[in-house]
Amino acid sequence: MKWLSFCILSILSLQSSFSQNIQGKWVGKVTQQPGGYSQLYDLELDLSQRKNIWGESYAFEGDSVQIRIGLSGYIEKDSIRLNESLDWIREDKVPYSWIACVKQFVLSYRKEGKLEYLEGTWTGVGKNESESPCAPGRVILSRTIEGLNKFLEEHKDSVVVTEQIVTASITPPVLDFTPKFLNTEPKKITEIVVTNPDLQIQIVDYMKVDNDTVTVYLNRNLLAKNIRIAKRPALINFKLDSRLELHELLLYAENLGQVPPNTSEMILVDGEKRHRVMIVSDKEKTAAVYLRYKPKKKS
């Protein structure tokens, strides 16, 4: 009798896991960790469901990014697994030098009153680079715009990948760039004068791709971890503390790749200006680039 009860409960549990209807349109947001092209995109899913799931994803950012890809998937216990297909790319509009990511979603269904949500994570690879992973991120989707806005307002500190937070105070922090860093000697490569507090660095391999990996620090604070250097640029957006004049960027070698030392090209984007720097780091020396902030004088 106990065994029969257990079997019945197991069957009911299995049926409940697979009974949720997620067919229809979903609207939401997809984030991307540092190292990706952008930190936040809009995302829409249009799903059909019978035994399995199929449909289409539409990721966009204004008019500059519009990516529409067919997908298929299935429900496994409490997880909804959706996989975009390289063969089903229907629209691929991205800025020059960007490459669309073909994504895999692992989502879970949740209901709050009348509001329905799909939440989870995504991973992916570049459209033309199956061995080059995209910077992953999180996903939030709702049946309605109202539900999405409610979720974003309640979770705005955890959904959006925020930039470095600067605490406003009268006295700026005192920074010391002289000590060793993680048992390496910071080696000054160059000093660049910048005029904007909002900056971007692009890190790309300028020689043969050999699995070099770096972690980036700003003023000895972690900025982006374990960035794999590839032919597709890794983009990192950050904000300078405007109270300080001199800032330090460190590119710490997590490994030496297949051909030591750890090498890359860093492109610093300061408004309309672009600065190119060749980076070399190893287990004894960490490449250091110094940024001297001199804002434009207001006319």
| Residue spans of the chain under pLDDT 70 | 1-19, 34-38, 155-171, 206-208, 299
* Euclidean distance between CA atoms 264 and 230, whole angstroms: 9
Distance set, CA 198 to CA 1, 101, 170, 212, 270 (Å):
68, 25, 21, 27, 8
Rg value, the chain, Cα:
23
Residue 129: predicted pLDDT: 74
Instruction: Name the residue among 42, 50, 49 with its Cα closest to residue 68.
Output: 42
- Structural contact between residues 201 and 194, judged by C-beta atoms closer than 8 angstroms: no
So where are the chain's domains? 20-159, 185-293
pLDDT of 133 reads 84
Express each pLDDT in 115-156 by its tens digit.
999 999 999 998 877 777 888 888 999 999 888 888 877 765
Looking at the domain 185-293, which fold is it?
A: Immunoglobulin-like (2.60.40)
**Can you tell me which residue has the tokens 């629209």?**
91
Quick check: do 20-159 and 185-293 share a fold?
Answer: no
pTM (two decimals): 0.52
How many helices (H) does the chain have, and how many strands (E)?
3, 18
Q: What is the pLDDT of residues 225-261, one digit of tens each?
A: 888 787 777 778 888 988 899 999 999 999 887 778 8
Rounded distance, CA 279 to CA 289, Å? 9
Report the DSSP pairing between strands 262-270 and 273-281. Answer: antiparallel
Q: CA angle, 275 as apex, 60 and 34 as ends, to 5°?
A: 40
Would you state the pLDDT for residue 204? 83
Residue closest to 163 by CA, chosen among 223, 238, 225, 226: 238
196/217 Cα distance (integer angstroms):
19
* pLDDT at residue number 188: 92
Contacts for 39 with CB less than 8 Å, ≥ 6 apart = 31, 32, 160, 161, 163, 237
Distance (Å, rounded) from C-alpha 269 to C-alpha 277?
11
* DSSP-derived secondary structure letter, 295: P
Structure tokens at 257: 């790749």
Helix (H, G, I), strand (E, B) or coil at 150: helix
pLDDT for position 207? 63
Whether residue 252 contacts residue 152, with contact meaning beta carbons closer than 8 Å, is answered with no
Question: What pLDDT shows up at residue 18?
Answer: 45
The CATH class of the 20-159 domain is mainly beta
